[in-house]
Chains A and B, each alone.
Chain A
Amino acid sequence: MDALVPRLQLSGISKTYPSVVANADVDLSVLPGEIHAVLGENGAGKSTLMKIIYGVVKPDSGSIRWNGKPVTIASPARARALGIGMVFQHFSLFETLTVAENIALALDRDIARSELDARIREVSERYGLPLDPRRHIHSMSVGERQRVEIVRCLLQAPQLLIMDEPTSVLTPQAVLKLFETLRLLAQEGCSILYISHKLDEIRALCQKATVLRAGRVTGTCDPRQETSSGLARLMIGADLPHPHHRDARTRGDGELIVDALSLAADDPFGTDLVDVDLTVRGGEIVGIAGVSGNGQNELMAALSGERTLERADAIMLNGEPVARLDAARRRALGLAFVPEERMGRGAVPELSLADNALLTAHRQELTRRGLIRTDAVIAYAQAVINQFRVKAPGPDTVARSLSGGNLQKFIVGREILQGPRVMIAAQPTWGVDVGASAQIRQALIDLRDEGVAVLVVSEELDELFEICDRIVVIARGRLSVSKQTRRTNAEEIGLLMSGSFIADKSTPDRGIENEARAH
């Protein structure tokens, strides 16, 4: 095959939804064996474009050429038949089935089970993705599950592999491993479309990048020749604001103290918390690093009051035992919480922003004798919108119609304006575009500077290193000793994330506090 014929060529692709233009006149060209980044903020149209290529969404106009020939990709099955594979950001695996069963379900033709097992082993070993075909998905880590998704695509011998934000769930070590696999694939001639907003990764991995902003291509470049800030400028059309970060001035013994908290998960595939100790003082940000599914959800539910505990003093909130109190009573004592899921948990999608403000902020004199003060609610929501620059027409806007980043800004703002003493944020910038992420991080830092105790759970190490004063690691439901951010590095934290601290740690957190106080 002529190497100059692009594997995939899109020209003039447009797609308009009733309320937004997702793609406008997008051109994209991927050569055989090329690792090509598609870069853009959330809502820039990356996902729609990938769905068009994978046959999930039909473009309104434009044409697609595959190996030089015009094609119409009417369905994912059609895309697979052409040789296009896609690894989605959110896995589509049945947890109760085995690896081989999951893969068999996705194949477009029948294949004998013994042959399938052999092929899974062969492909997975060739690309350095060891997998046992007989294992059940629920017993696997997120990184291993991603392997299943990748191997599932590779079995179809794709000529083009689409990876949608593949590293958001991986440890730094696993990311390096993934990159090796992708480079090997590319050497064999497979083209890779790599979607991400992590600029460092794109610079390390990709040979070419197409940048999208508001549905349009704003540029193509060789990311290896660009700086991260140069890429960011293409992406958001402006320079990235840099958060400024003063030294922590902590006060008190701890606004939030967790003492030997153990909790059995209520979900059979959840993680039990074992003997968790943690202290967050006023005026500092403590980060919890870890690969998702290591007990973060359980810990957040226990801290927020969504799950209550038996022993009241397992959690102390500015000196009061609160572990038996529900979320509302803990909020009354000065706790604010930004949950990981925005739709359906942090906000009610069907309700207006004003109603969503009322959801947790009703103690801010938004009611009188049990009746809602509509004017006050609207004023509060408007204040959140203004101060946190939420892009929304007004307080009447339905939460569902906001983009993820904007809704997150609204939720963070709603919690901050309640004047909390302790702020807990889970994945505060997960899936949020670069500009909004920077704004949310700055808001958390400002809160810290006002003396609030801030606890942040994140899978993005860069984020934790950027804003935290101390970092602890969660692995298999246990918390590591905390590390001063300035005295540690990604390698050390990455090692802890793999659970290396668990075996030799008999008295969990006592050491942390001593170490922390020494500074």
Chain B
Amino acid sequence: MRIKLEARPEPSRLMGWMSPVIAALATLVVGFALFSGLGKNPFEAFQVFFVKPVETLYGFGELLLKATPLTLCAVGLAAGYRANVWNIGAEGQLTLGAICGGGVALAFPESSSAWILPSMIVAGALGGMAWAAIPAWLRTRFNANEILVSLMLVYVAGLLLSLLVHGAWRDPEGFNFPQSKMFADVALLANLLPQTRLHVGFLIALAVVAAGWIFMSKSLMGFQMRVAGLAPAAANYAGISASRTVWAGMLIGGATAGLAGVCEVAGPIGQLLPSVSPGYGFAAIIVAFVGRLHPLGILLASLLMSLLYLGGESAQMALALPSAVTGLFQGTLLFFLLAADVLINYRVKIVRAAPVPVIRPAPG
């Protein structure tokens, strides 16, 4: 007897809905074993992981706050991924967004103009796009692999930010800490919910989700980019320009990552620090795929990812679990989510081995 995966004639709608449920159940089973094995009460652990972080209004605000940069980055990345444009460098584009947006705020420290914030947002998006334009240009001009180039530029971006906050942009009154001055009040995103840190950036993320949905599902260009991803020969046949697809895919990802960066520094951080992101740009890659490259799915996946971040922290504090265990648990859930999606296009079939008949070759 063996187990076989058999392609379905068409994708199963039922499994489209069931696969996250299956993944959640499988994760609970593994989590149960994991926490039991570590000598913790699994029910308590689940409560700490999934319920405790959002019990308070502040916790709920944190959930949306952390989902904001994840959503922003992932929607932009998904536009590219659908077209087989593999931008792995959202983290770097986010950093450039923070530098450019923050640069505007630092350039006008005394200004009280209402135009400061919009200018920062535009500068942030443009910064992210500029950073993404480098791999796009190298890919279309020299056929350089955009995965490698965009990834390597993450580290360049990090060092650039570090250079600035250690040098030119360091706060002279900051006791030599590597950080910029605090931004003026007009350069900060307004609070959205009292007693939380949630800010207007969340609304920007929702707007990007809506715009992303319209672009991907309703626009001719979004359709053409999808064709380029599904069947490059068909795209070439229909005259869909391959280089335009690469440019669009990279620049959209760069723009939203740049927005995420400026929303972080003009939101919860309020200044430039040597590090402005705990890896949102990388986590967004997972979020994009868990969300099945669909803007609404991405919004839900960002909330899940955000909850896992918060749950991991609370598990470290409340249960004294090492951070590696929380990482393991997060990875398990994401693994099952992606694995269960196989069931949408395939069904499991159990094949009983047929008895092998003995045949003699025919005479002659």
Interface residues of A (CB under 8 A from B): 1, 17-19, 66-69, 71-72, 74, 78, 81-83, 159, 304-306, 326-331, 337, 339, 341, 344-351, 355, 358-360, 362, 367, 370-372, 398, 401
B219 contacts across to A, CB distance below 8 A: 370-372
**Cα–Cα distance between A370 and B214 once the two chains are bound (Å):** 11
Contact B239 A71 (CB under 8 A): no
Tell which of B234, B239, B361 touches A81, judged by Cβ atoms closer than 8 Å: B361
Contact A305 B239 (CB under 8 A): yes
Binary contact track B322-364/A, C-beta < 8 Å → 1, others 0: 0000000000000000000000000000000010110111111
B192 contacts across to A, CB distance below 8 A: none
Closest to B218 in A: A371
A348 contacts across to B, CB distance below 8 A: 227, 230-231, 234
Instruction: Known contacts A67-B362, A370-B221, A372-B218; decide if A328 and B238 are in contact (CB<8 Å).
Output: yes
A358 contacts across to B, CB distance below 8 A: 220, 223
Contact A398 B239 (CB under 8 A): no
**Cα–Cα distance between A339 and B364 once the two chains are bound (Å):** 48
Sample of 26 A–B contacts (CB below 8 Å):
A18-B8, A18-B9, A69-B360, A72-B359, A81-B361, A82-B359, A326-B239, A327-B237, A328-B238, A328-B239, A328-B241, A344-B234, A345-B233, A345-B234, A348-B227, A348-B230, A348-B231, A350-B230, A351-B230, A359-B234, A370-B219, A371-B214, A371-B220, A372-B223, A401-B9, A401-B10
Contact B357 A306 (CB under 8 A): no
**Cα–Cα distance between A66 and B361 once the two chains are bound (Å):** 9
Instruction: Known contacts A328-B238, A360-B238; decide if A349 and B10 are in contact (CB<8 Å).
Output: no
**Cα–Cα distance between A348 and B83 once the two chains are bound (Å):** 13
Binary contact track B299-315/A, C-beta < 8 Å → 1, others 0: 00000000000000000
Q: How far is the CB of A43 from chain B (nearest CB, A)?
A: 15
Interface residues on B, range: 20 to 34
Contact A359 B227 (CB under 8 A): yes
Contact A347 B234 (CB under 8 A): yes
Contact B10 A398 (CB under 8 A): yes
Closest to A350 in B: B230
**Cα–Cα distance between A81 and B356 once the two chains are bound (Å):** 15
Contact B220 A351 (CB under 8 A): no
Name the interface residues of B1-33: CB closer than 8 Å to any CB of A: 8-10
Closest to A58 in B: B354
B236 contacts chain A at the CB level, 8 A cutoff: yes
Contact A72 B231 (CB under 8 A): no
B8 contacts across to A, CB distance below 8 A: 18
Contact B234 A367 (CB under 8 A): no
Tell which of B218, B356, B362 touches A82, judged by Cβ atoms closer than 8 Å: B362
B240 contacts chain A at the CB level, 8 A cutoff: yes
Name the interface residues of B215-255: CB closer than 8 Å to any CB of A: 218-221, 223, 227, 230-231, 233-234, 236-241
A370 contacts across to B, CB distance below 8 A: 219-221
Instruction: Known contacts A19-B9, A72-B357, A327-B238; decide if A344 and B233 are in contact (CB<8 Å).
Output: yes
**Cα–Cα distance between A433 and B160 once the two chains are bound (Å):** 64
Contact B220 A367 (CB under 8 A): yes
B230 contacts across to A, CB distance below 8 A: 348, 350-351
**Cα–Cα distance between A330 and B236 once the two chains are bound (Å):** 13
A345 contacts across to B, CB distance below 8 A: 231, 233-234, 236-237
**Cα–Cα distance between A272 and B269 once the two chains are bound (Å):** 61
Q: How far is the CB of B10 from chain A (nearest CB, A)?
A: 6
**Cα–Cα distance between A19 and B359 once the two chains are bound (Å):** 33
**Cα–Cα distance between A347 and B231 once the two chains are bound (Å):** 9
Smallest CB-CB A-B distances: 6 pairs: A328-B239, A327-B239, A67-B362, A345-B233, A348-B231, A19-B9
Contact A67 B364 (CB under 8 A): yes
Since A346-B237, A348-B230, A398-B10 are in contact, a sample of 11 more A-B pairs with Cβ atoms closer than 8 Å, ordered by chain A residue number, is: A18-B8, A19-B9, A67-B362, A71-B357, A72-B356, A305-B239, A328-B240, A345-B236, A347-B234, A360-B237, A401-B10
**Cα–Cα distance between A327 and B359 once the two chains are bound (Å):** 58
**Cα–Cα distance between A398 and B218 once the two chains are bound (Å):** 19
**Cα–Cα distance between A311 and B317 once the two chains are bound (Å):** 70
A360 contacts across to B, CB distance below 8 A: 237-238
Q: How far is the CB of A9 from chain B (nearest CB, A)?
A: 12
Contact A341 B233 (CB under 8 A): yes
A327 contacts across to B, CB distance below 8 A: 236-239
A74 contacts across to B, CB distance below 8 A: 354, 356
Instruction: Known contacts A82-B362, A370-B221; decide if A344 and B239 are in contact (CB<8 Å).
Output: no
Q: How far is the CB of B333 from chain A (nearest CB, A)?
A: 28
Instruction: Known contacts A18-B8, A72-B359, A401-B10; decide if A362 and B220 are in contact (CB<8 Å).
Output: yes
**Cα–Cα distance between A69 and B356 once the two chains are bound (Å):** 16
Which of the listed residues B223, B356, B363 has the most CB atoms from chain A within 10 Å of its own CB? Answer: B223
A344 contacts across to B, CB distance below 8 A: 231, 233-234
Closest to A68 in B: B362
**Cα–Cα distance between A359 and B240 once the two chains are bound (Å):** 9
Tell which of A82, A330, A355 touches B361, judged by Cβ atoms closer than 8 Å: A82
Q: How far is the CB of B242 from chain A (nearest CB, A)?
A: 10
**Cα–Cα distance between A374 and B8 once the two chains are bound (Å):** 27
